A and B are shown apart, each in its own frame.
Chain A
Amino acid sequence: MKYALYLGCTTPAKVLQYELSTRSVCKKLGIELIDLEDFSCCGSNMLNIDTDGGWALACMNLAVAERDGLNIMTLCAACTGVLAEAAQMVRNDPHFKERMNGHLQPLGLECKGEIEVKHVSKVLYEDVGIDKLKNAVSRDLSPLRIAPHYGCHYLKPSFAYPDGDGPGDPHTLHELLSLTGAEPVDYERLLFCCGGKTFPNSQGHTFNLVDRKLLDIATHDVDCITLQCQTCGLMYGAQQKAVREKFGRDYSIPVFLYPQILGLALGLDPYKELGFQMSWIDPKPMLEKI
């Protein structure tokens, strides 16, 4: 099993615990990750001002991986959505493909739409599989109650994910958590957006979205939130103190990336291999329970 690791812009600069835990978990499970120095930003934020240019950046990244015959493994939900949607359009829309390659040709690149884009959680769920992951568990996480958060772009647009969860009633992260022994806890605002894309322009809106979700989760007596996108992590984790102060709340909920939780179950070192020392909210109370 071999993938080109697509880090995106945010994870390698701001959420190193996600990159570290992903590399450690993949190493443990025998998934080979290749770093390609020609990967750039996926183009997600550029879609705001020029969709043609945004998609061209996405297709450039697809072309770079295609050149080496590698499928892409992503970490960020937004990168996943943009790259997977671009790949679908290249495969299904000859006009789109021609226009994109018109942009790439001067750079000596061509995007054929021959590779797959898969989020790390999907690689774990589909390629490794629940049974094999379950058999690899060496540390029981059954004392933990965990609130899952999927991330909008992990599920939508559903067009980008023909065999995905679907937009309305996801289950894969629940299953990925259950296999560790932990209890995934449902809550009313399970699908509510983190607001990450509103953060650069309007933090007031972001904080309001974050607060509504955290207020809901806080009523469910969970040990942590587990999510699969670094931007969602930054909103619920890094911004939690600011949101708490702004609205006068007393919740304090640790936030982790899924490979950190799986890594614990696989017996990896919480700090050296999974980066728990970089947590936004103190992880010790949770770690002491297991």
Chain B
Amino acid sequence: MEKRIIKSSELDPGFKDEVASHHGGENIQACFSCATCAAGCPINEIDPNFSPIKIARKVLLGMRKEVLSDPIIWLCATCHSCYEECPQDVRFFEVLNVLKNIAAREGHSPMPWIKHTRSVRDIGRVFPIDEEVSKKREDAGLPPLKNENRYSKGVIENTGLGEIERGYK
């Protein structure tokens, strides 16, 4: 049982304000823990460890370190059910994006999202049009596509994406 005790000395009471200061996190304090978000969540149905209400409650309590380092926050399927159904307009999907954004800056992002970002920076797309794909496109009578983009690198470097990506090996 000891593990379940929440020590107030380890809490960060400013965490909810930190989350609310980001675009998308503004409504976190409106949560009254009704669990509608969890009831409609497909991930929660197959894996109760992913619980939107539990994550929201932890944010409100100030369990910053535990929330941000928990790999569970990266499991969201982005279906937006929680966003649509919340009676308090908390927009949990967006709150979770804020949490993932902060966690990514602190080194916790899974590598696929970093790799996708690098690919978009370099060629403008997540999946390259390699020789095999080009051949298939040609055989299907589809127009050729390039592995380059004149703007994507600039967008990534001009925003936080570049800084975050550089923080990963």
On A, residues with C-beta under 8 Å from B are 7, 9-10, 12-14, 16, 19-20, 23, 35, 37-41, 43, 45-54, 56-57, 60, 64, 78, 81, 96, 103-104, 106-107, 109, 152-153, 156-158, 167-168, 192-193, 195-198, 200-202, 205, 208-209, 212, 272, 275, 278
The answer to whether the Cβ of B1 comes within 8 Å of any Cβ in the partner chain is no
What would 26 A/B residue contacts be, using CB atoms closer than 8 Å? A12-B137, A13-B133, A41-B125, A45-B112, A45-B113, A48-B97, A48-B113, A49-B164, A50-B161, A51-B22, A51-B23, A53-B117, A53-B162, A60-B152, A103-B155, A107-B158, A152-B78, A152-B81, A153-B80, A156-B79, A156-B80, A156-B84, A157-B80, A157-B83, A167-B84, A208-B47
Tell me, rounded to whole Å, the shortest Cβ–Cβ distance linking B103 to chain A. 9
Tell me, rounded to whole Å, the shortest Cβ–Cβ distance linking A111 to chain B. 11
Q: Which residues on the A side are within 8 Å of B23 (C-beta)?
A: 51-52, 96
Among B23-66, those with CB < 8 Å from A are 23-24, 42-43, 46-47
Contact of B113 among A9, A23, A46 (CB under 8 A): A46
| A40 engages B152 (CB within 8 Å) | yes
Contact of B149 among A38, A53, A96, A158 (CB under 8 A): A38
| A50 engages B77 (CB within 8 Å) | no
CA distance A23 to B141 in the complex (A): 11
| B140 engages A16 (CB within 8 Å) | yes
Q: Which residues on the A side are within 8 Å of B169 (C-beta)?
A: none
CA distance A163 to B117 in the complex (A): 32
Tell me, rounded to whole Å, the shortest Cβ–Cβ distance linking B30 to chain A. 17
Among B66-88, those with CB < 8 Å from A are 74-81, 83-84
Known: A48-B97, A103-B159. A212 touches B46 (CB 8 A): yes
B79, B117, B126, B161 — most chain A CB neighbours (10 Å): B79
CA distance A9 to B149 in the complex (A): 13
Q: Which residues on the A side are within 8 Å of B113 (C-beta)?
A: 45-46, 48-49, 200
Minimum CB distance partner of B96 in chain A:
A48
| A197 engages B78 (CB within 8 Å) | yes
The answer to whether the Cβ of B20 comes within 8 Å of any Cβ in the partner chain is no
Minimum CB distance partner of B46 in chain A:
A208
Interface string of B7-18 (1 = CB under 8 A from A): 000000000000
| B77 engages A200 (CB within 8 Å) | no
Q: A51-B98, A152-B77 are in contact. List 18 more A-B contacts (CB 8 A).
A: A12-B137, A40-B125, A41-B124, A41-B126, A45-B112, A46-B117, A47-B97, A48-B97, A49-B100, A53-B117, A53-B156, A53-B161, A56-B158, A60-B152, A106-B154, A200-B110, A209-B42, A209-B43
CA distance A284 to B107 in the complex (A): 49
| B46 engages A56 (CB within 8 Å) | no
CA distance A275 to B133 in the complex (A): 15
The answer to whether the Cβ of B142 comes within 8 Å of any Cβ in the partner chain is yes
Q: Which residues on the A side are within 8 Å of B151 (C-beta)?
A: 38, 40, 60, 64, 107, 109
